[in-house]
Amino acid sequence: MKPKEISRRQFATAVSSVGVGTMMPAALAQERLQEPKPAYPPRDAGGIHGDMLGRISEGLAGNDIHTKEGLLKLVALLQQFDVISEQDAAMLRETIDAIFSAPETTAAKIDKIYAEAKEKAGEVTVAIISIAKNSVEFGRRHERAIYIVASDVSGALTGAATGAKLGGRSLAVLGALAGAVGGSAQAAFSHKG
């Protein structure tokens, strides 16, 4: 081969290598851009936690969080945060009434409310009632069923309120799930029996 041809080939190889080399960091950067950023600076979590506990405490007005009255106060808190409509609040109040009704009718009542909610309610309400429905199914296997269901629903309501504070309804749905899992785990697994 002639010296000019070799240098052209070397040049072509070098250029393509540089091109691939510069594409790799760009691809990694693109992947990082697609990963969602936290809704708030992580260093603010403690302050947000304290603020929400204060709001929940004030909203409960002395009621125990796992009682019918306490859960109803949490529904009112979601309304204050403008996360749910009056129609949604009515469905949540009906769900809470079902939780504290005769255990043999609770599941059927919540199934009926859930079927209606899927058609008529907002996303946050559907998420909370879905959690209540699942919690009733899970709670059937435990002696402390009502406490577990009330813990799940209170966790869902407080989680939804926190999510709403951080970023509106979409984060309220996520918060409802996270709060319910925390409430359920504590209620179902911290006391055996």
- For every residue of 18-53, DSSP letters joined together read HHHHHHHHHHHHHHHHHSPPPSS-GGGHHHHHHHHH
Of the candidates 6, 29, 26, the residue with the CA atom closest to the CA atom of residue 18? 26
Identify the pLDDT of residue 20: 46
pLDDT of residue 15: 47
A 10 A CB-CB count for 144 gives 15
Rounded-to-integer distance, Cα 188 and Cα 14, Å: 63
Residue 138: which H helix or E strand, with range? Answer: helix 123-139
Q: What is the pLDDT along the chain (193 residues), one digit of tens a residue?
A: 555 555 555 555 544 554 544 555 555 556 556 777 888 889 999 999 999 999 999 999 999 999 999 999 999 999 999 999 999 999 999 999 999 998 889 999 999 999 999 999 999 999 999 999 999 998 887 778 888 899 999 999 999 999 999 988 889 999 999 999 988 888 878 755 4
- Which residue ranges make up each domain of the chain? 1-35, 43-189
Centre a 10 Å sphere on the Cβ of residue 69 and count the other Cβ atoms it contains.
Answer: 14
CA 157 to each of CA 19, 23, 75: distance values in angstroms, whole numbers, following the listed order: 52, 46, 7
